[in-house]
């Protein structure tokens, strides 16, 4: 693929098992709830019943009387040292209940049973307030407020006062000034050129209004955190978190402590997908500080559904047009996302960026609004905003291709961005492999032969794109006494990233990946590490590991040059030994070097490499989904038969892990497409609070997956690797919708496309 490919170390591109695989499949892995802590207490949250109410009084006497109960904490009891309107500062509701399920009190008891019993005896007296649960009504002027009290009066991000900022390439970021209710707490907009003229000049204009539901990250391990104060007064939190350093910073800020007076240990994660950041940690930590003993907060599945931070529901209205020559000309979109009780995540802003897709438009204008309602705080969910944005855009692109009588791949190809084109926010796309992904799918028999499918079957495709992320990262690499190598980072392994580090280090040092061990250290001892999310780990931390390895390699060669008395330029490091280029028999093995470094008599500084890094630019992820469905025209049930995922991974460090990632992400995309929705009644009560009601896809629902790995190396990633994680979910739901349209002639614009919805659409020849 690229010029350097043949020079790549052997270990790159080799499928090796995940380091975390064996302990997980054999049941040996110990998750956060499995860790024994002496003298530990159990914290049980008391969740609010109404969706919106003023708290008048919380009566804890009954709960306190339960044997084994140590404390019942309410918001006023928490040792929070700073103020803020964010969820971090409100682990327990203060004066106002913001959603049905918000934690109002925390019972702390010797046993989990006592805590659970007592939690039922906490009486929360409230005065009801209007529950703001309908997104569109909440947006309208004069709507009741979803939140009446706020600790800090502040100008919410993107106020109605319009602001503009050029972001380069003729593009502009701006604050849309459309009149709306005070529930609108976030506004953002992107535009370039004159979109009305562009649309007016189009031969074909299509439009649609797309609706998506609240979707839970569906991790199998509910949230859990344990906090205790160490001997030396350090607050030590062990939790199922995606980001130990971020958790440390935020808890230090919350409790007004020096950063080093908080220590966070990441436990083996039982799934996360963007949802595991600081939901239970502040509760456990606050309780441990108050009662002076270790406290664990371990949510039940139902509590996790009711109080965590799923992906928000959204409403996307788009008009898009093209000219007969197959050129995309203009796109206008309005996005309204539920921000729930806390608007921190700004998912609507990302969706706004992604709604123009990886395409060149003559002009575009996208506005987005985050609307406070009486629901959870919103969280990240693998590629937040992307599933929603692509569900809208890629259906319209499909429709344009049909209307223009163009091959849908051809229409996309003609309008793909080039390396110098920019995203909505002015970030250059750089070199991406989307054309190659489209090319691979175009050649696929499923696509070539799609005209010959039987009735009720259809094939659809969609493109997904994720800008990628980058974060500052450092890593440490040690040559051990036995010649093997240890890599130390503070990264929480979420998807095989540790195994990726082993490959990267092995490649840099000419050893086998088995000879590298990777340590996930806690915040006390680790080099500074990013959180696991946003597809940054392999790209950003992998780069730091590559650099740390290079430093170690230089030190090893320098030492060997001394020992062998040979110029370092005449030495090479391969197969676990340093050897003179001409006379390999005169070499010295890494094991021999390691042994010389060991013990009292070592005469040389330790051979270790440390390096920090931040990639200078992003390495966007692009993907094409090709989905083959069979729709039961009687029942409306959709069965996905084949699902081809072609993704540009930059460099496939370990194809087996990449395939697993693509399967997992695509499965989640199909969950969005066909099954998953958090459903509420009109009063805002969650109706789908268990895995019996909430229809997470299972292995038996899976189609035949096929993965097409495209390698267009990134400029800055290790060996050209890009992030992978967010990619395979992007566009999956859109491809499924296009396939359903291909099978049925009906275009569904609401997720999930349940059998009921499909059946109604078939009946009415139009979706609901």
Enumerate the β-bridge partners of residue 708: 646
Figure out which of the listed residues 476, 566, 618, 657 binds its own copies, where binding follows CB under 8 A: 476
Q: With respect to its own copies, which residue has the nearer C-beta, 199 or 272? A: 272
* CA angle, residues 153, 308, 257, in degrees to nearest 5: 60
485 exposure class (CB count in 10 Å sphere: 0-12, 13-18, 19+): buried
Figure out which of the listed residues 106, 109, 299, 473 binds its own copies, where binding follows CB under 8 A: 473
Coil/strand/helix, residue 498: helix
Figure out which of the listed residues 156, 291, 481, 695 binds its own copies, where binding follows CB under 8 A: 481
What's the min distance (Å) between Cβ of 525 and its own copies? Answer: 3
What's the min distance (Å) between Cβ of 568 and its own copies? Answer: 18
488 sits near its own copies (criterion: CB under 8 A): yes
* CA angle, residues 380, 383, 386, in degrees to nearest 5: 110
Could you count the other beta carbons within 10 Å of the beta carbon of residue 688?
A: 18
610 sits near its own copies (criterion: CB under 8 A): yes
Which DSSP symbol is given to 750? Answer: B
The contact mask relative to its own copies for 35-74 (x = CB under 8 A, - = no) is xxxxx-----------------------------------
Could you tell me the two tokens for 91?
């682990």
Q: With respect to its own copies, which residue has the nearer C-beta, 487 or 626? A: 487
486 sits near its own copies (criterion: CB under 8 A): yes
Q: With respect to its own copies, which residue has the nearer C-beta, 604 or 763? A: 604
Q: With respect to its own copies, which residue has the nearer C-beta, 60 or 611? A: 611
Which DSSP symbol is given to 539? Answer: I
What's the min distance (Å) between Cβ of 252 and its own copies? Answer: 7
Site for its own copies in 517-576 (CB under 8 A): 517, 519, 521-522, 524-528, 530-531, 534, 544
Give the binding range for its own copies (CB under 8 A) out of 83-91, 143-151, 176-184, 473-481.
473-481
112 sits near its own copies (criterion: CB under 8 A): no
Give the binding range for its own copies (CB under 8 A) out of 349-357, 467-475, 745-753, 756-764.
467-475
603 sits near its own copies (criterion: CB under 8 A): yes
Terminal alpha carbon distance of the chain = 46
The contact mask relative to its own copies for 613-652 (x = CB under 8 A, - = no) is xx--------------------------------------
List Cβ neighbours of 389 (8 Å cut-off, separation of 6 or more).
Answer: 316, 335, 350, 351, 352, 354, 355, 357
Site for its own copies in 224-283 (CB under 8 A): 231-233, 246, 249, 252, 258-261, 268
Coil/strand/helix, residue 63: helix
**Strands 295-298, 171-174: pairing kind:** unpaired
d(CA 587, CA 600): 25
Could you tell me the two tokens for 201?
């000049």
d(CA 274, CA 492): 13
Q: With respect to its own copies, which residue has the nearer C-beta, 117 or 493? A: 493
d(CA 14, CA 651): 11
Return the closest-CA partner of residue 645 out of 684, 604, 702, 585.
702
Figure out which of the listed residues 59, 110, 480, 642 binds its own copies, where binding follows CB under 8 A: 480
Figure out which of the listed residues 607, 623, 666, 673 binds its own copies, where binding follows CB under 8 A: 607
CA dihedral 422, 538, 382, 408 (to 10 degrees): 50
Figure out which of the listed residues 478, 643, 741, 749 binds its own copies, where binding follows CB under 8 A: 478
d(CA 333, CA 352): 8
What's the min distance (Å) between Cβ of 682 and its own copies? Answer: 37
Q: With respect to its own copies, which residue has the nearer C-beta, 276 or 332? A: 276
| Residue 142 contacts residue 85 (beta carbons within 8 Å) | no
Coil/strand/helix, residue 496: coil
Enumerate the β-bridge partners of residue 678: 214
Could you tell me the two tokens for 661?
């990632």
List Cβ neighbours of 457 (8 Å cut-off, separation of 6 or more).
Answer: 628, 629, 630, 631, 641, 743
599 sits near its own copies (criterion: CB under 8 A): yes
469 sits near its own copies (criterion: CB under 8 A): yes
Q: Which residues bind its own copies (CB under 8 A)?
A: 19-20, 22-23, 28-30, 35-39, 231-233, 246, 249, 252, 258-261, 268, 469, 471-474, 476, 478, 480-482, 484, 486, 488, 517, 519, 521-522, 524-528, 530-531, 534, 544, 594, 597-600, 602-608, 610, 612-614
């Amino acid at each position: 693929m690229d010029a350097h490919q043949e020079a790549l170390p052997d270990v790159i591109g080799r499928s090796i098992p995940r380091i975390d695989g064996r302990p997980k499949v054999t049941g040996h892995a110990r998750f956060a709830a499995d860790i024994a802590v002496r003298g530990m207490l159990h914290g049980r949250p008391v969740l609010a019943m109404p969706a919106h109410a003023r708290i008048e009084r919380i009566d804890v006497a009954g709960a306190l009387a339960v044997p084994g109960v140590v404390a019942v904490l309410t918001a006023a009891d928490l040792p929070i040292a700073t103020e803020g309107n964010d969820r971090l500062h409100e682990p327990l509701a203060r004066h106002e209940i913001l959603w049905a399920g918000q934690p109002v009190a925390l019972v702390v008891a010797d046993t989990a049973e006592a805590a659970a019993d007592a939690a039922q005896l906490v009486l929360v007296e409230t005065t009801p307030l209007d529950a703001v649960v309908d997104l569109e009504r909440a947006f309208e002027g004069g709507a009741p407020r979803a939140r009446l009290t706020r600790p800090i009066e502040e100008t919410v991000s993107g106020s109605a006062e319009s602001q503009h900022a050029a972001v380069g390439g003729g593009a502009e970021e701006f604050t849309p000034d459309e009149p709306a209710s005070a529930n609108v707490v976030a506004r953002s907009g992107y535009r370039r050129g004159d979109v009305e003229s562009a649309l007016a000049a189009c031969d074909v204009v299509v439009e649609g209004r797309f609706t998506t539901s609240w979707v839970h990250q569906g991790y199998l391990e509910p949230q859990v955190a344990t906090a205790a104060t160490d001997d030396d007064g350090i607050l030590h939190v062990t939790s199922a978190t995606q980001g130990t350093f971020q958790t440390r910073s935020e808890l230090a800020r919350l409790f007004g402590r020096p950063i080093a007076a908080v220590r966070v240990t990441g436990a083996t994660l039982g799934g996360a997908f963007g949802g595991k950041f600081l939901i239970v940690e502040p509760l456990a930590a606050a309780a441990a500080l108050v009662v002076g003993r270790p406290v664990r907060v371990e949510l039940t599945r139902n509590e996790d559904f009711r109080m965590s931070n799923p992906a928000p529901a959204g409403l996307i209205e788009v008009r898009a047009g093209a000219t007969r020559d197959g050129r995309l000309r203009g796109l206008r979109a309005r996005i309204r996302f539920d921000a729930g009780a806390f608007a921190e995540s700004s998912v609507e802003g990302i969706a706004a960026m992604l709604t123009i897709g990886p395409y060149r438009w003559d002009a575009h204008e996208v506005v987005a609004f985050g609307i406070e309602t009486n629901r959870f705080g919103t969280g990240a969910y693998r590629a937040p905003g992307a599933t929603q944005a692509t569900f809208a855009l890629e259906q319209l692109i499909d429709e344009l291709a049909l209307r223009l009588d163009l091959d849908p791949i051809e229409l996309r190809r003609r309008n793909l961005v080039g390396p110098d084109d920019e995203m909505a926010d002015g970030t250059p796309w750089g070199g991406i492999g989307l054309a190659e992904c489209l090319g691979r799918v175009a050649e696929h028999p499923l696509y070539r032969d799609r005209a010959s499918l039987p009735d009720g079957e259809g094939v659809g495709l969609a493109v997904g794109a994720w800008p990628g992320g980058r974060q500052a990262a450092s890593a440490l690499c040690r040559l051990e006494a036995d010649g093997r190598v240890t890599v130390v980072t503070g990264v929480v392994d979420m998807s095989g990233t540790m195994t990726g580090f082993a490959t990267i280090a092995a490649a840099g040092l000419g050893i086998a990946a088995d000879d590298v061990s990777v340590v996930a250290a806690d915040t006390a001892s680790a080099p500074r590490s990013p959180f696991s999310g946003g597809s940054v780990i392999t790209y950003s931390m992998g780069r730091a590991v590559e650099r740390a390895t290079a430093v170690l390699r230089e030190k090893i060669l320098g030492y060997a040059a001394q020992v062998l008395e040979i110029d370092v330029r005449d030495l090479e490091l391969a197969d676990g030994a340093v050897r003179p280029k001409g006379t390999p028999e005169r070499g010295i093995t890494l094991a021999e070097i390691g042994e010389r470094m060991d013990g009292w008599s070592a005469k040389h500084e330790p051979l270790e490499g440390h390096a920090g890094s931040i990639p200078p630019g992003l390495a966007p992820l692009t993907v094409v989904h090709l989905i083959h469905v069979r729709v039961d025209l009687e029942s409306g049930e959709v069965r996905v038969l084949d699902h081809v995922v072609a993704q540009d991974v930059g460099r496939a460090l370990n194809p087996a892990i990449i395939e697993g990632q693509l399967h997992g992400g695509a499965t989640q995309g199909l969950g969005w497409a066909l099954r998953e929705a958090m459903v509420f009644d009109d009063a805002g009560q969650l109706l789908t609070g268990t895995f019996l009601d909430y229809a997470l896809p299972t292995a038996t629902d899976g189609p035949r997956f096929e993965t097409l790995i495209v390698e267009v190396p990134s400029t800055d990633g290790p060996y050209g690797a890009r992030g992978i994680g967010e990619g395979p979910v992007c566009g999956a739901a859109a491809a499924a919708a296009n396939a359903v349209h291909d099978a049925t002639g009906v275009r569904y614009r609401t997720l999930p496309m349940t059998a009921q919805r499909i059946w109604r659409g078939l009946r009415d020849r139009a979706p609901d």
